[in-house]
Structure 1
């Protein structure tokens, strides 16, 4: 009887201690993430002039087009805006965001606002919406092209293009014709590098004709991503040996 009471008391004590540990650990993680997020937002400004040029020279290759697949994550506009600014800093000319749910495309203004708060006056962000873009000649400074892609830009665009081609006088169109037209609609070059967000590594019906040579890396989450982590991912991409299907 005494042993049963002792075991029960020990169980309650261990359970109580573990519950406190979980709460303290969760609180510390939250505070740490907030501090890191706050610091990298402001420290990046000082890094840009001194640390960044030296750091970039150590990266073997810079992708021309970075695409970010949000997966099941809800978009964090400030973190996505940071990725755009970092593309400007590292001379990545194109960045696209793929949100198969379409939420990011509906709230594109929020992303534009967050980017406008972070970019320098001489930086130029060129937004692409379908066949339209905000490109203007005569500006001085860095530039990056930005495009938001959703699932409707994948299978639906193939179906619509096939219907359009079938209604033309040239009925002898082939796969190459469809591929060429899809490339024109997409505007951007094929992504060199893709970040896949979330715990599940899935492309979520990303337009398949665009990712034939893309190197995909899992980043876990785009939320609270730091500039150092971003550079490390570029390092990892630079070390990848792309065989181009060979």
Structure 2
């Protein structure tokens, strides 16, 4: 009798949790629709100016920023992460001052897997392919409309231009926009790569080189790190911050050797991806204190 009662209570709780999750998701989608409709009423230049001003204010308040931002897109179909969403995140990361972004998309091509090269080709941003799955991406800086002219230079929206152009409230003095490095990570770059390297070490366990590595743990770790860098053909700073687009918190084997000290945050499924929601994640990361065992 008691077991049946427990099963009934568990079933009721499961139903209530499912109803709450569904209603919460619908509420977020309605909110996303309203925000999307609001953004749709403005042109891209106005949106870029607004987002840049907002993110610059946030940057002044943040106590720390990640140098390497990692994006994990899980198999959850409700996440609805497409090229437009990733392009917005890349632009936000560049505005806020992040050095590089790595993308790990677990979906198949039939399910909408994102290719960085195709994303760069379809966007208006300037880009170049550096080497294996490594790209450089930059925002366009359209020439502003000239409204007034004085003897010292042009004035646009109250901003004085000095040997450059005023774009989105900033002054550029013969400076090109900073480029963002982007890395495409696949399944073979994580646990499979580590297993392959360890298998090779085991096969060569009787050699002098491997025996010397086994006597010094730091040298062994450095050897594995170097071999991993050779496998993916580029060296990157370990990601300090990772955004997971999935209902469940899971790293899905994302570079386990390089993510020992990474802060993982799940982006709420159904929420609209804009500068405000991106900044909210950065504020959460900024408040995290890593005490390193103290």
* Normalised TM-score (structure 1): 0.71
Deviations 1:93-149 (A, max 9, x none): 0111112345477733332234x32x3x6xx6665525x6669xxx93312110111
Q: Secondary structure at the match of 2:244?
A: strand
- Partner residue, 2:34: 32
1:127-142 pair list within 5 angstroms = 129=132, 140-142=176-178
> Are 1:125 and 1:143, in contact at CA under 8 Å, matched by a contact in 2?
no
- Partner residue, 2:185: 149
The structure with more helix, counted as a fraction of residues: 1
Residues 1:212 and 2:251 aligned together:
no
> Are 1:80 and 1:222, in contact at CA under 8 Å, matched by a contact in 2?
no
> Are 1:44 and 1:227, in contact at CA under 8 Å, matched by a contact in 2?
no
More displaced stretch, 105-114 vs 69-78: 105-114
How many residues end up aligned between the 2 structures?
215
> Are 2:136 and 2:182, in contact at CA under 8 Å, matched by a contact in 1?
no
Residues 1:110 and 2:109 aligned together:
no
Partners of 1:89 and 1:27 in 2: how far apart?
26
Residues 1:97 and 2:76 aligned together:
no
RMSD: 3.5
- Partner residue, 1:71: 74
* Normalised TM-score (structure 2): 0.61
Partners of 1:206 and 1:41 in 2: how far apart?
37
> Can you give the 5+ residue segments of structure 2 that lack an aligned partner in the other structure?
1-22, 138-174, 215-219
Partners of 2:255 and 2:33 in 1: how far apart?
38
Deviation at 1:28, TM superposition (A): 5.2
Deviation at 1:183, TM superposition (A): 4.5
Q: Secondary structure at the match of 1:220?
A: coil
User: Following superposition, which runs of at least 4 residues in structure 1 exceed 6 angstroms of deviation?
Assistant: 24-27
Partners of 2:132 and 2:43 in 1: how far apart?
28
Partners of 1:163 and 1:52 in 2: how far apart?
46
Partners of 1:199 and 1:47 in 2: how far apart?
30
- Partner residue, 1:182: 228
- Partner residue, 1:7: none
Deviation at 1:192, TM superposition (A): 0.6
Partners of 2:97 and 2:238 in 1: how far apart?
17
